[in-house]
Structure 1
């Protein structure tokens, strides 16, 4: 027995293997939560976006801050009048070997628009095309109902990637989500195994030859990366937030997520018709307490109306309604003769942090505030947790105004002008005007925006992240 043990130890020393398969040459191991789905047009969770970000290549990447568009599956996205748009495609194939054509996009977008998936409003409410046709195998023609410069930003949405003809014919969306076929740098090797994960094989431009995706809980995965038995954990739990810096040094990253939360005021309700009242409530919110408490360090206190994921240009000035100033908030409510007492309503998934928000408002403003599930049209303020499908500011600004019933003519005109702007610089200036008007009138008060965290082992390098994919799996290298 001693001889066998000695031989095993010698073999271990020679191979350099620690008993973990995380150090296999060319194989990247990644810990994630169970994705809600792998159907790209119906995604709203970090894990699903991370996986589909490797399985599909979008038409372009869009940076809202700079307004820069980087073509990817598209060779170009152009227009002479911002009404008639032309998209030229690069040659590509799906993982099943069939070609990706302009008709692939036409048929996919028709299915998305009809299915009422998460990304459906990108086509029906934001793009608003009168006609989308394939004028050649590699050419898409899009005719809008008005001039819009936001088309490249909208077409960059990860939910608008193409689907192969097989699933468009069968409409077996559930079956497809278990064994998705994309056009990206990696393909799924066999069906996805719920509760376990799946393996991605490189078929395009990617550093790792293979990526093993393991489903589990973030706390356990964090410890596995620390122990060297997992290469990367795509989520860091709140209780590890402080330890992360000491445990991993510079081997961690955070990035803005496409989500933000707001306190929406019913501006048509006489009780909240006065902007002074709305500003008073905004100043009574202790955002830092929410971040450190029920949000478990998975969010940043709002510093502006637009979150980082779709804030154009450089910010100027501070966001006074984003501040916590209980004394000033109480003074404003007194000035407006606020009658004292309201209910704050919440939707699914927001109960815990909304109740904490309500407790804080009561303490800070010395008014009666209660919390209740949202049902029908709320007669008081409500919390709104927005999940964005694009990086365009137009999506969020229009949704916030609709949620509050805010119908100011100047706001609507400037928002339409920003949508129609010919250049990113012009659009950015107009969006800032719109944002500043909302901060002045305050139909909605910004609360927080989400962010993601990842940690990785010493053999991992070149980790970058984007709002809609998190860590870019194709770009991660191994030593």
Structure 2
């Protein structure tokens, strides 16, 4: 999975310890205090974890918001995103300025996308997908024109990706990315006052007056457990993460003041389609039935995930879902029966990437117990193809289901003409409803042939104090700091 979906072969569920002495001091009136992990970066096209998304979503306004369940696109920095043939798209921009006072123009977007796509740190695969268009131009300051070589109805969804945020001309000229990440300049509802202070945090100041909302946000870097306790003690307004050992207590400590939301991350077990032992879908389904997802959720993954109910995670699944996919169910008896039917014998190795042993080994041990097949785990080989299943953690850069479905098929070496055609039809669909129906066909085909078995989807948690209200979150932005009332 190289070009379309960012695949990270290691666990991201460990907790980063950092000091949080500032959490001992309550925020001043009109100032919202927020506890978060140290962001790895504040470059919007490189952000992959919750804390980075929390900050960058306050500093930048995306072209649009997309709700996967309803299929609704809501324009934000864009005034409109239109097309008559789904090949030529026109994006009209609202008047806006960067926090340094320079204008945000259509050329700002075009130049940013071209420059950032060539950077080795860029973790927004949608950039490359978008730039494969026939041409992207800025006919005037308020218009972006995207000409495609084939119809694509998913363009508004692509444009909602946070990694497509514009950067000011000053940084595009200097390309001093490290300096910019320390003092980012966005186009969003908040600006960063002074540089980011690693290990400490930073202060966000609201750009335009918003009565009833916080005028400043005091971002305090620290360890989630300490932040949780500080909110409980009235010394912090909001903790943007909740560690696993506070998961159960959260429900009574903050009965009506906690929130969970889906994140754009999901775990999968990928089967080597070229390996004869796993060429039989009966075998692949047997191993899917042998995964005790609830045990993984409560154990090594520390309540930071939900057992998968479908192939697509909630952040990416078009339309409301009900029920659970058959391959997502834990059924050891059925798994053993299928392996006997296929005359399958072990041993089996489940491969993991660096630092993923904390959940891959329990996964392998659970499969051995459930299926009665000797199963061990080891790191992925540096060269060559693995001779057993591999665990994948997929981090999504866009809410378009096509990016994930095609990427999963590529990772497993799965090829099928019908799959490719249905996926192309879904991406070219004229309406969200039509696209959703076609994506379900593609998803159902993958669940039938099962080149990958869904394991879990990740979610975020937040808790807050009594003076904080209207807390909501979205998969790609996290907690919406601009919406919080005090």
TM-score strictly above 0.5: yes
TM-superposed CA distance for 1:238, in Å, is 0.3
- 1:450 pairs, out of 455, 458, 482, with 458
- 2:379 pairs, out of 369, 373, 386, with 373
2:134 match: secondary structure: strand
Q: Distance in 1 between matches of 2:91 and 2:146?
A: 8
Relative to structure 1, the CA distance from residue 429 to residue 126 in structure 2 (aligned partners, 3 Å threshold; closer, same or farther) is farther
The answer to whether structure 1 residue 302 and structure 2 residue 308 are counterparts is yes
Query: Residue 165 of structure 2 aligns with which residue?
Result: 161
Q: Is the Cα–Cα contact under 8 Å of residues 124 and 397 in structure 2 kept in the other structure? A: no
- 2:259 pairs, out of 253, 276, 279, with 253
After superposition, what is the alpha-carbon deviation per residue over 1:76-120, rounded to whole angstroms, capped at 9, x for unaligned? 011111111100000000000000000000110001211144444
After superposition, what is the alpha-carbon deviation per residue over 1:249-293, rounded to whole angstroms, capped at 9, x for unaligned? 110000000000000001111110000000000000000000000
TM-superposed CA distance for 1:339, in Å, is 2.4
Query: Residue 73 of structure 2 aligns with which residue?
Result: 69
Relative to structure 1, the CA distance from residue 160 to residue 243 in structure 2 (aligned partners, 3 Å threshold; closer, same or farther) is same
How large is the Cα RMSD of the aligned pairs? 1.3
Q: Distance in 1 between matches of 2:352 and 2:24?
A: 45
TM-superposed CA distance for 1:124, in Å, is 1.5
Query: Residue 36 of structure 1 aligns with which residue?
Result: 40
Q: TM-score, normalization: structure 1?
A: 0.94
1:242 match: secondary structure: helix
After superposition, what is the alpha-carbon deviation per residue over 1:362-415, rounded to whole angstroms, capped at 9, x for unaligned? 000010111111123222110010000011101110110000000011111100
1:241 match: secondary structure: helix
Q: Distance in 2 between matches of 1:386 and 1:136?
A: 38
- 1:460 pairs, out of 449, 468, 471, with 468
Q: Distance in 2 between matches of 1:118 and 1:477?
A: 34
- 1:140 pairs, out of 126, 135, 144, with 144
Query: Residue 323 of structure 1 aligns with which residue?
Result: 329
Relative to structure 1, the CA distance from residue 188 to residue 105 in structure 2 (aligned partners, 3 Å threshold; closer, same or farther) is same
Query: Residue 276 of structure 1 aligns with which residue?
Result: 282
- 1:84 pairs, out of 75, 85, 88, with 88
Q: Distance in 2 between matches of 1:349 and 1:88?
A: 45
Q: Distance in 2 between matches of 1:125 and 1:347?
A: 26
Query: Residue 364 of structure 1 aligns with which residue?
Result: 370
1:386 match: secondary structure: strand
Query: Residue 426 of structure 1 aligns with which residue?
Result: 434
RCO comparison, higher one (Cα < 8 Å, 6+): 2
Q: Is the Cα–Cα contact under 8 Å of residues 224 and 230 in structure 1 kept in the other structure? A: yes
Query: Residue 7 of structure 1 aligns with which residue?
Result: none
1:93 match: secondary structure: coil
2:295 match: secondary structure: helix
State which drifts further: 295-304 or 376-385.
376-385
- Give 1 or 2 for the bigger CA radius of gyration: 1
Query: Residue 47 of structure 1 aligns with which residue?
Result: 51
1:22 match: secondary structure: coil
TM-superposed CA distance for 1:127, in Å, is 6.0
- 2:192 pairs, out of 180, 188, 200, with 188
- Listed as ranges, the matches of 1:332-347 within 5 Å are 332-347=338-353
The answer to whether structure 1 residue 229 and structure 2 residue 235 are counterparts is yes
Q: Is the Cα–Cα contact under 8 Å of residues 118 and 389 in structure 1 kept in the other structure? A: no
After superposition, what is the alpha-carbon deviation per residue over 1:325-370, rounded to whole angstroms, capped at 9, x for unaligned? 1111011011011122211111134221111100000000010111
Q: Distance in 1 between matches of 2:209 and 2:91?
A: 22
After superposition, what is the alpha-carbon deviation per residue over 1:116-163, rounded to whole angstroms, capped at 9, x for unaligned? 444442021366312111000000001112210111111100010100
Q: Is the Cα–Cα contact under 8 Å of residues 67 and 425 in structure 1 kept in the other structure? A: yes
Q: Is the Cα–Cα contact under 8 Å of residues 123 and 129 in structure 1 kept in the other structure? A: no
Relative to structure 1, the CA distance from residue 62 to residue 117 in structure 2 (aligned partners, 3 Å threshold; closer, same or farther) is farther
Q: Say which structure is richer in helix.
A: 1
**Structure 1: 4+ residue segments shifted above 6 A:** none
Q: Distance in 2 between matches of 1:476 and 1:189?
A: 19
- 1:394 pairs, out of 388, 399, 402, with 402
Q: Is the Cα–Cα contact under 8 Å of residues 112 and 119 in structure 1 kept in the other structure? A: no
Relative to structure 1, the CA distance from residue 439 to residue 231 in structure 2 (aligned partners, 3 Å threshold; closer, same or farther) is same
2:26 match: secondary structure: helix
**Structure 1 residue ranges without an equivalent (≥5):** 1-18
- Listed as ranges, the matches of 1:92-107 within 5 Å are 92-107=96-111
Query: Residue 385 of structure 1 aligns with which residue?
Result: 393
State which drifts further: 127-136 or 268-277.
127-136
Q: Is the Cα–Cα contact under 8 Å of residues 179 and 192 in structure 1 kept in the other structure? A: yes
- Listed as ranges, the matches of 1:395-410 within 5 Å are 395-410=403-418
Q: Distance in 2 between matches of 1:324 and 1:433?
A: 24
Q: Distance in 1 between matches of 2:348 and 2:68?
A: 37
